[in-house]
Structure 1
Amino acid sequence: MQVLLFLLLSGAAFTDLYKDKIYNFWVIPGLLTGITCSAICGKSSLIASLTAVGIAFLLLIPVYFFKGIAAGDVKLFMSAASFLSVSDTVSSIITAFVVAGVISLAVLIIKRNKEARIHFAIPALVGVLFSVGGAL
């Protein structure tokens, strides 16, 4: 399942970098695959997966409303959460925001552009890799 999650996030990061958009082509099949795999593993795994998706939504929707991230980023994290536990989801989100902050600071220092946008799929990928990889 981790390989599927990595492919999902990598594809979304690629399209986010080159098309400035996270397509539902990555998000919806990823979400359905994560939930289906969890359902196959049993009722408790399915409940954990759906809880992680809900937690990702509840944590990120306020950030979306304040224009901190785009809707595709929220959907991407919900899709990734379907593969993760609640604790991995929360630590992935926290790590992604730290990575996004570092990238933003670097852009601000190097380019001196306060209006520059970063592609949040990259921090999302890094956050999940750190959480799933056991670094957190």
Structure 2
Amino acid sequence: MPIEQYLETILLLLVTSAAVNDLATRRIPNRLLLAGLASALLLHLLSAHPGASFLTALGGMGVGFALFLPFYLLRGMAAGDVKMMAVIGAFIGPEDVFVVAVLSWCAGGVMAVLMVLWGGRLRLRLVLGNLGRMLSGALVPGAGIAPVGRESAGSMPYGLAIAIGTIAFLTRH
């Protein structure tokens, strides 16, 4: 079996495990992410072109991290989600991790709408208020990040959205 198939199989197992953990505990274990990262880097080193493959993994890790870090800094996402996207980037490289990020954002958007609809009007007010505070902190120069309101509209297991985006990417080719 070529290295690419091992990478895809382990990545599928990783995102599935992370999604299940995130749904159950609202956490993505660092040990799981570290094991995934070690697997990706090792497999890239065992590929036909280890130097180029390893550099692609590092680039993918950097792009995945950079794409999700702003959401963490705006308090709209947990650190585990950012680390998870970085690890996914180590598996698939910089160009493909961008596609997975976009697919994950789409899945997360659908999940957020469903959560708001499920929660009713009160949750909608909380979501809009918290979103307004986050955006004003991000868009007003020198304002810094606005503090999140006292009340949360609820946490979302974004690891599930990332898993859905990753699985959609893996099954499309």
Please indicate, yes or no, whether the TM-score normalized by the shorter chain is above 0.5. yes
Greater Cα radius of gyration, structure 1 or 2 = 2
Alignment partner of 2:156 out of 118, 123, 131: 118
Given residue 24 of structure 1, which amino acid in structure 2 is its aligned partner?
Answer: N
The reply to whether residue 59 of structure 1 matches residue 67 of structure 2 is yes
Moved over 3 A (4+): none
8 A contact 1:88–1:132 mirrored in 2: no
**1:58-108: CA deviation from partner (whole Å, max 9, x where unpaired):** 111111100121000011111111110222100101111111011110111
8 A contact 2:33–2:87 mirrored in 1: yes
CA distance in structure 1 between the aligned counterparts of 2:65 and 2:111, rounded to whole angstroms = 23
Alignment partner of 1:14 out of 1, 11, 20: 20
User: What's 1:134 paired with?
Assistant: 172
Given residue 105 of structure 1, which amino acid in structure 2 is its aligned partner?
Answer: V
CA distance in structure 1 between the aligned counterparts of 2:166 and 2:59, rounded to whole angstroms = 17
8 A contact 2:44–2:57 mirrored in 1: yes
The reply to whether residue 43 of structure 1 matches residue 74 of structure 2 is no
For the residue of structure 1 that corresponds to 2:91, the secondary structure is coil
User: What's 2:116 paired with?
Assistant: 108
CA distance in structure 2 between the aligned counterparts of 1:85 and 1:52, rounded to whole angstroms = 4
**1:19-68: CA deviation from partner (whole Å, max 9, x where unpaired):** 11111121001011111111111111111111000111111111110012
Quote the sequence identity (%): 22
CA distance in structure 2 between the aligned counterparts of 1:71 and 1:110, rounded to whole angstroms = 26
Q: Structure 1 unaligned segments of length 5 or more: list them.
A: none
Q: Report how far residue 122 of structure 1 moved.
A: 0.7
Q: Name the Cα RMSD after superposition.
A: 1.2
Alignment partner of 2:99 out of 76, 91, 94: 91
Alignment partner of 1:30 out of 29, 32, 36: 36
| TM-score, L = length of structure 1 | 0.93
CA distance in structure 1 between the aligned counterparts of 2:26 and 2:71, rounded to whole angstroms = 19
Q: Structure 2 unaligned segments of length 5 or more: list them.
A: 1-6, 128-152
CA distance in structure 1 between the aligned counterparts of 2:79 and 2:99, rounded to whole angstroms = 20
| TM-score, L = length of structure 2 | 0.74
